[in-house]
């Protein structure tokens, strides 16, 4: 929770709140990549690109 608060404040101070959804997507995507290492999720990721 602290982390979400900190990153929100950071983006606000940097006037880059527009990055917030991208940060969220990137983090989800990154987590997917971790889950995908050697798993069935891998083909799903590669079809995105």
Partner 1 sequence: MYILGVSAFYHDSAACLIKDGGIISAAQEERFSRIKHDSHFPVKAIKYCLSQAGIRARDISNVVFYEKPFLKFERLLETYLSFAPRGFSSFKSSMPVWVTDKLFQKSRITALLHAEVDDEVDWQKKLLFSEHHLSHAASAFFPSPFDKAAILTVDGVGEWATTTCSVGSSNKLEILKEIQFPHSLGLLYSAFTHYVGFKVNSGEYKLMGLAPYGKPRYTDLIKKNLVSIMSDGSFHLNMTYFNYGVGLTMTNEKFHDLFGGPPRQPESNLTERHMNIAASIQKVTEEIVIKLAQGIRDETKESNLCLAGGVALNCVANGILLRKKVFENIWIQPAAGDAGGALGAALAVWHLRHKKKRKIHNKKRDAMAGTYLGPSYSDNTIQRELENCGAVFSKVPEEKLINQVAYHLSNGKAIGWMQGRMEFGPRALGNRSILADPRSPDMQKQLNLKVKYRESFRPFAPSILKEHLSEWFEINEDSPYMLLVADIVQGKRLVTSKATEKLTGIDKLKAPRSEVPAITHVDYSARIQTVHSHSNPKFHKLIGEFHRLTGCPLVINTSFNIRGEPIVCTAKDAFSCFMGTELDLLAIENFLLFKKNQKTSLLQNYRSKYKLD
User: What tokens does 44 get?
Assistant: 């799903």
> Any idea what DSSP says for residue 18?
G
Q: Does 39 bind partner 1 (CB under 8 A)?
A: no
Q: Does 8 bind partner 1 (CB under 8 A)?
A: no
Nearest alpha-carbon partner for 20 in 31, 11, 28: 11
> Any idea what DSSP says for residue 17?
G
User: What tokens does 12 get?
Assistant: 């606000």
Of 12, 17, 24, 26, the one binding partner 1 by CB under 8 A: 26
Q: Does 15 bind partner 1 (CB under 8 A)?
A: no
Instruction: Name the residues that contact partner 1, by CB under 8 A.
Output: 2-3, 6-7, 10, 14, 16, 19, 22-23, 26-27, 29-31, 33-34, 37, 49
């Amino acid at each position: 929770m602290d982390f979400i608060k900190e990153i929100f404040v950071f983006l606000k101070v940097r006037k880059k709140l527009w990055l917030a959804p991208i940060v969220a997507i990137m983090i989800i995507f990154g987590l997917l990549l971790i889950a995908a290492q050697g798993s069935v999720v891998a083909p799903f990721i590669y079809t995105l690109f």
